[in-house]
A and B are shown apart, each in its own frame.
Chain A
Amino acid sequence: MPTSPSEAHDSSAFDLAVVGAGPAGLAAAVTAADLGLRCVLLDGGPSTGGQYYRHPAPGLGAARPDRLHHHWSAYTGLAERLAAHEGAGRAAFRGGHQVWALERTGDGFAVHVTRGPESTDRATVRARSVLLATGAYERQLPFPGWTLPGVVTAGGAQAMLKAGLVLPGRRIVVAGSGPLLLAAASSLVTAGAEVPAVVEATAYLGYARRPGVLASVPGKLVEGAGHGGALLRHGVRLRPRSAVVEAHGTDRVTGVTVARLDADWRPVPGTERRIDCDALAVGHGLLPQIDLATELGARTRTGPDGAVALEVDARLRTSVPGLWSAGETNGVGGADLALAEGELAAHAVAGALPTAPLLRRRARLRAFAELMAAAHRPGPGWTGWLRPDTDVCRCEEVPVSAVREAVDELGAGDPRTVKLLTRAGMGWCQGRMCGPAVACLAGSVVASGPDRRPLGCPVPLSQLAAGPSAEFDDRP
């Protein structure tokens, strides 16, 4: 058995390993195979599609996925091309392959994978280059009652619908900030739910009204109009500059209090009103999922939405040699941008020149993403709706008061120290859920870089003990 990855099975290395089979990764893998690279596409989930093209498992007898998806044909087109490449042995898709670490080796990377709980479920994929297309996860801002059953994330509600066509409730308030809210509300009403209100913290569509901005992005316009139409038809009311400041209920959410916000997102006293509901879908945008790259020391940038994304050059190279990044990992920007970046990155890896229209499309979509990000950046006043006993970290049940004590009395000036002193962020989600809120409450005395997580996800001890394996000898 090889002891050092660099000496192991170099001949079996792929030209490119793509981590994440969402729009970005799928487009990248297909394009890379088109351009002659031997390519493996890895995803923790069972099938390709990622967050956007999430679809019901076959056999659920679900309605046609194209009803829930714009651009469904874009996905099926890519999936067919991938299947053709797989059939010809030029590319391989591996579902159920969760990557927990990237390791740089002499001539590329060892990609460390877990496929399940057994010690034999470890796999090690070797590739000369890696493209990170791991997407994003939802930003959560806590509020009193946010841990009640019936409170779900906006994206989670979307995902539930797309994957299993289940509704989280019958009368669902949608709240938070960002374009995902409209998408979620529109899917929910289309699937038969009542949505009494969409509560958006910003002035919303302010940016969209700017002449020229949306016109330059026809895809977005169509999508926005589509959502708007569905919402209008179902009489859904949009409440801008407002937030859910409390969810009520004992066993389950039975209603929410909505308040107006000032420009800093501080709740305005006296504006509270109650809305009855049996579910709340709440989200504050998405955060790039970049642990695998930051662990290698990849440089990052803070986007206009305050989210940390990978810093890439014009050809989507990260600061780590041999590591590329496409899609949400470079800053959240939607499925069209992810597709464009996947294609662009594949060209760069293959050393091929991208077409001018592709470059233009990507630049335009990225510019729009930045604009949207700036509009939905959480204002500092949101902490005004917290109470001392509101849990910030739901995994470890750490209340606001404990975080404030750590900051005011114990000298924590950054999220990492708050974590050490309160356990906030030490639970199953490893701070993905409470990280942004903790960072905000910590008020970062010290500029702390992105949280470096040596393990991208929990790994069975038996697999660590087994050591790297040579799993992928069945390469194309």
Chain B
Amino acid sequence: MLKTERPPLDLVVVGAGVVGAACAYYAARAGLAVAVVDRGPVAGGTTGAGEGNLLVSDKEPGPELDLALLSTRLWRELAEDLGGDLGAAVEYEPKGGVVVASTAAGQEALRAFAAGQRAVGVVAEEVPGERLRELEPHLAPGLAGGFHYPQDAQVQPALAAAHLLRAARRMGAELITGETVTAVDRGPDGAVRGVRTDRRRLAAPAVVNAAGTWGGELAALAGVHLPVMPRRGFVLVTEPLPRVVRHKVYAADYVANVASGSAGLETSAVIEGTPGGPVLIGASRERVGFDRTLSQEVLRRLAVQAAELFPVLAEVAVMRVYRGFRPYLPDHLPAIGADPRVAGLYHACGHEGAGIGLAPATGLLISEQLTGKQPEQDLTPFRADRFPAG
């Protein structure tokens, strides 16, 4: 038997990853009645399988960097606002990033990249090779130089999702876990009327697709095309260590990898410490569908790169490996906002390797659309109908 929920909902968010959590949080804060549905637990998707770098340093000027800058501000506000202890609860650390170059040519490329970023509000400070070790005492000797990005930060992704949802629930949002959305209901006029799960019907005039890597399937349930695909990544987790890595440190070629459209394996280790002690080394990027097979070649490359940057890491043990599937769209931009094809359908998915960072801006902009405000950033580049139907 399908029951209808009371009181009436304004919004159903599908997906309890970090993006769905942020959507629920900002919608609830705007006074909307929200239910969040996930087929698994909170953070059981990609959010629980990756790292929590909040990076501006790796993004070139454009809509994604604008989104990242907005998110940087929002993460800071969230960490401060929510009862004071949220920052600690989600392990928010505005520790800054350090991008290093091994050659003078590499440093020159970084310089040009940083100049473009500075023009749109990124803070980037050049660090000559001989001063890198003041920032990172354990870095390998002989690097040509680097850039320090004080705006880069980090959170623990699963905690971030869980605490955003807890805050949303305290403002009245409802969380339903362990139920799969099997249909998106639409009225005779084509507008969204809610969703059906394997256990109930949830009526609402708006549905947010925050289904991450499975966002394409959810879009299809609503009758629209959205080509979200998986891009596999592995992260190595070391044994707990004293503070050997202070910032998020990565080599210059990371930026090229992130932006690359290649299907082949790309690795460029980003190395960071965590409050618990383990150092995270990630991540690889590969398009191999949802294949979970552990790749020896990925392990090898990440380990080699980590030891190249921080020779001390060669001496440590790797305790764990995470693996996850980033949700990506062909142009490497997420889908955010109202779908012009179906009234009441909103998308918040396809954030690829930056969903943790971009979650608050995504949630805020959608809540502004939902409440009839002018979103503070233009959402046109993120429109879901930008891809020709396959």
Q: A416 interface residue, CB < 8 Å from B? A: yes
- With A and B bound together, what is the CA distance between A168 and B319 in angstroms? 30
Contact check, B300 vs A464: say whether CB atoms are below 8 A apart.
yes
Q: A343 interface residue, CB < 8 Å from B? A: no
Q: How many chain-B residues does the 8 Å CB contact rule pick out?
A: 46
Contact check, B314 vs A462: say whether CB atoms are below 8 A apart.
yes
Contact check, B299 vs A464: say whether CB atoms are below 8 A apart.
yes
- With A and B bound together, what is the CA distance between A458 and B278 in angstroms? 13
Q: Which of B60-68, B203-211, B290-298, B377-385 contacts A (4 or more CB under 8 A)?
A: B290-298
A410's partner among B40, B166, B293, B302 (CB-CB below 8 A) is B166
B41's partner among A110, A411, A426 (CB-CB below 8 A) is A411
A465's partner among B165, B239, B304 (CB-CB below 8 A) is B304
Contact check, B296 vs A459: say whether CB atoms are below 8 A apart.
no
Q: Which of B116-124, B136-144, B156-164, B188-196 contacts A (4 or more CB under 8 A)?
A: B156-164
Identify the closest chain B residue to A455 (Cβ). B321
Q: Which of B20-45 contact A (CB under 8 A)?
A: 39-44
Q: Which of A159-167, A212-220, A417-425 contacts B (4 or more CB under 8 A)?
A: A417-425
Query: With A465-B304, A467-B300 in contact, do A446 and B178 touch (Cβ < 8 Å)?
Result: yes
Contact check, B162 vs A410: say whether CB atoms are below 8 A apart.
yes
Query: With A413-B177, A465-B307 in contact, do A454 and B41 touch (Cβ < 8 Å)?
Result: no
> What is the interface of chain A mostly: helix, strand, loop, or mixed?
loop
Query: With A413-B177, A416-B48, A417-B158 in contact, do A465 and B42 touch (Cβ < 8 Å)?
Result: no
Contact check, A455 vs B319: say whether CB atoms are below 8 A apart.
yes
Enumerate 27 A-B pairs (CB-CB under 8 Å) in ascending A order: A103-B296, A104-B293, A112-B296, A406-B162, A410-B42, A410-B163, A411-B162, A413-B41, A413-B177, A414-B44, A420-B158, A420-B159, A446-B39, A446-B177, A446-B178, A452-B292, A454-B234, A455-B319, A458-B318, A459-B318, A460-B317, A461-B306, A461-B315, A464-B236, A465-B303, A465-B307, A467-B297
The interface residues of chain B lying within 8 Å CB-to-CB of A112 are 296
A24 to chain B, nearest CB (A): 25
- With A and B bound together, what is the CA distance between A426 and B158 in angstroms? 14
Q: Which of B247-299 contact A (CB under 8 A)?
A: 276, 278, 292-294, 296-297, 299
Query: With A445-B41, A461-B307, A464-B299 in contact, do A413 and B178 touch (Cβ < 8 Å)?
Result: yes
The interface residues of chain B lying within 8 Å CB-to-CB of A426 are 276, 278, 319-320
Contact check, B318 vs A455: say whether CB atoms are below 8 A apart.
yes
- With A and B bound together, what is the CA distance between A158 and B302 in angstroms? 41
The interface residues of chain B lying within 8 Å CB-to-CB of A413 are 40-42, 177-178
Apart from A417-B42, A446-B41, 7 more pairs, CB < 8 Å: A396-B276, A409-B166, A411-B165, A421-B158, A454-B234, A465-B307, A467-B300
Identify the closest chain B residue to A100 (Cβ). B318
Query: With A3-B297, A460-B317 in contact, do A417 and B48 touch (Cβ < 8 Å)?
Result: yes
Contact check, B320 vs A295: say whether CB atoms are below 8 A apart.
no
Identify the closest chain B residue to A396 (Cβ). B276
Q: B69 interface residue, CB < 8 Å from A? A: no
Contact check, B317 vs A412: say whether CB atoms are below 8 A apart.
no
- With A and B bound together, what is the CA distance between A452 and B238 in angstroms? 17
Contact check, A462 vs B315: say whether CB atoms are below 8 A apart.
yes
